[in-house]
Amino acid sequence: MTKKVVLVTGGSRGIGRSIALMASSEGWAVGVNYTSDSKAADEVVAKIKAGGGEAIAVKADVSKETDVIAMFDEVTNKLGALTGYVGNAGINLPRSNLVDMTAERMTRIFSVNTIGAYICVREAARRMGVSQGGKGGVIVNVSSVAARMGSPNEYVDYAGSKAAIDAMTLGLSKELGPDGIRVNAVRPGLIETEIHIAAGDPDRVARSASAIPLGRAGSPDEVAQAVVWLLSDKASYVNGALVDVGGGR
Ligand code: NAP
């Protein structure tokens, strides 16, 4: 049986952490990427190993091409040929109307969330594509319901950076499907993680939860369930899907 090896970008905290742990429990060897918080990444790796799984922590800034290539090489060399990739790393910045946004801010958001995501998927396709000598595999991108809502008065830049992920997912499902790679995306809604604190809005979940049809924010595990399902053979005929995990938002 082919060994299942998955790289989860931003696998050290929040949604990515849940994905890494859940993927391990489904038999995947996991590359846990992080960019600054090595302690959090090491904790995820230790937890996976304590449960009998295999994992390594890999430091890389997804917006830096040299980091990304080194990250994919390290995962392949230490865990084996890649058969899964989850593009989860992402950032947001403080709420702002477009009229007050600097170009530096927009560049930062798009560098990590979009360009970084594209470079990573390119490296995954170079390694998994059957035409490239790979075994085929699965790509799951973590987008956001912001991609279809637009996030007015908050983060239209972030929303746009995620809309690009949806377009990439749809295009690559057709481009890479014939090469043995399924490509799908999960679009989380409001999820309880530290991203809101990092974006200077720690009260966001409390403030916005009542506007969600299910009346609450989601948990990282609820997003991970969808991602790990898409990674699995249970989703063997799912390609080009954008799966909303947003409580009806
Ligand atoms: P989080 O708790 O802030 O965790 C972010 C993770 O990404 C961390 O592991 C972080 O590593 C990593 N990361 C950040 N910048 C990176 C970079 N340049 N290179 C590599 N890794 C980087 O975020 P989250 O809420 O779990 O979000 C995960 C994904 O879900 C993101 O793409 C986000 O846009 C999306 N999403 C989140 C929500 C939500 O409400 N939480 C909703 C919709 C979509 P370090 O700790 O080392 O920095």
Record the pTM: 0.98
Ligand 1 mutation target, pool 34, 118, 120, most atoms within 8 A of CB: 34
18 Cβ below 6 A of ligand 1? no
14 CA to centre of ligand 1 in angstroms: 7
Would you say the CB of residue 218 lies under 6 angstroms from ligand 1?
no
- What range defines the domain where residue 66 resides? 5-245
State yes or no: is 158 an active-site residue.
yes
pLDDT of residue 93: 97
Q: Report residue 164: phi and psi, to 5°.
A: -65, -35
Task: Calculate the alpha carbon distances from 20 to 79, 107, 116, 161 in Å.
Answer: 14, 28, 19, 23
Residue numbers in the chain where pLDDT is lower than 50? none
Q: Which atom of ligand 1 is nearest to the CA of 16?
A: 26
Domain tally, the chain: 1
Q: Is the CB of 90 under 6 A from ligand 1?
A: yes
pLDDT at 66: 98
Q: How far is CA 183 from each of CA 32, 139, 159, 172, rounded to the nearest angstrom? A: 20, 5, 20, 6
CATH number of the domain residue 165 falls in: 3.40.50.720
- With CA atoms as reference, report the closest residue to 122 among 85, 147, 93: 85
Percent helix, strand and coil across the chain, each to the nearest 5: 50, 15, 35
Per-residue confidence (pLDDT) for residue 1, from 0 to 100: 80
- CB of 144 within 6 A of ligand 1: the answer is yes
Q: Do the Cβ atoms of 91 and 108 come closer than 8 Å? A: yes
d(CA 55, CA 131): 27
pLDDT of amino acid 148: 98
Residue in the structure block whose two tokens are 């060399």: 77
Instruction: Compute, in angstroms, the gap from residue 239 CA to the centroid of ligand 1.
Output: 24
Is ligand 1 within 6 A of the CB of residue 172? no
